[in-house]
Amino acid sequence: MKKVFLMMFIIIGTAKFSYCDFRYYAWTYQFMTMLPGKTELELYHRIDQNDLSVSETAKWKRQIEIETGLTSRWDFSFYMVDSFSAGADGKGRIKFEEVKLRTRYKLANKGEFFVDPILYLEYKIQTDRSYPDKWETKLILAKDINDLNIAMNVIPEEYYKTATKEKDWKVEYSAGISYPILSDIFRAGIEVKGDLKDDKHLLGPTVSFKGKSIWSAIGFVFGVNKESDDLQVQSIIGIVF
């Protein structure tokens, strides 16, 4: 993975940049696909901590994504995902988890319907080939009311049953409200996310920043019931070239 990061930063250093689109939220997608002919590098870092009083419950995940615009309504992405968790013995464990292939397609042009829809499809290739691959889908719905953005994602996803290689489906969700606080360079908002199957629900703030060639977003959500993690944090950095 160190070699991969080195290659990515060499690419960044030699790229020619232009003004970029950017994500308003840390988890929720708004109505946006990558511009045709443009390519973007995105770096994700996430931590989920089930119990803030027990450090061993913290789990880190890192993703590298390369995203390319195919048409004005269709894009494609490639991800590499690894994770880190602290064991009861105090020794950290790093695992290269999966490779993901993802595509998004705008089902209509902006403003054609009351809400703007995107279909999202993701195929997760497990690096441990004793496990079967998985699917994730999203229906992305969003609405701009002047500068205010409202977005909601409905997320049917395959998962492994606890301590097995048997798969089942669950339905997750995320939603957000975002508003610019400085000429659309900075945006602040609130996100809610959760898992309907396991009755997990989290809520918290998200902020985002847009530069000429780079954007970033970071969100913090806190569990609102005992089934949920105490805290989840996710940051994203995007660079268009």
Sequential pLDDT tens for the chain (241 residues): 544 444 444 433 433 444 456 899 999 999 999 999 999 999 999 999 999 999 889 999 999 999 999 999 999 999 999 999 876 666 778 899 999 999 999 999 999 999 999 999 999 999 999 999 999 999 999 999 999 999 999 999 999 999 899 999 999 999 999 999 978 799 999 999 999 999 999 999 999 999 888 999 999 999 999 999 999 999 999 998 8
Contacts of 78 (CB under 8 A, 6+ apart): 65, 66, 99, 100, 101, 102
**CB of 153 closer than 8 Å to CB of 171:** no
Report the pLDDT value the prediction gives residue 21, as an integer from 0 to 100: 64
Whose CA is closest to 120, among 32, 22, 219?
32
Residue 65 carries which side chain, given as an amino acid letter? Answer: E
- Domain coordinates of the chain in residue numbers? 2-240
Report the pLDDT value the prediction gives residue 88, as an integer from 0 to 100: 63
Query: What CATH number belongs to 2-240?
Result: 2.40.160.40
**CB of 75 closer than 8 Å to CB of 33:** yes
Report the pLDDT value the prediction gives residue 89, as an integer from 0 to 100: 66
**CB of 153 closer than 8 Å to CB of 174:** yes
Global pTM value: 0.89
Whose CA is closest to 205, among 226, 184, 227, 181?
181
Report the pLDDT value the prediction gives residue 8, as an integer from 0 to 100: 43
Which residues does residue 123 pair with via DSSP β-bridges, in sequence order? 101, 135
What letter would DSSP give residue 10?
H
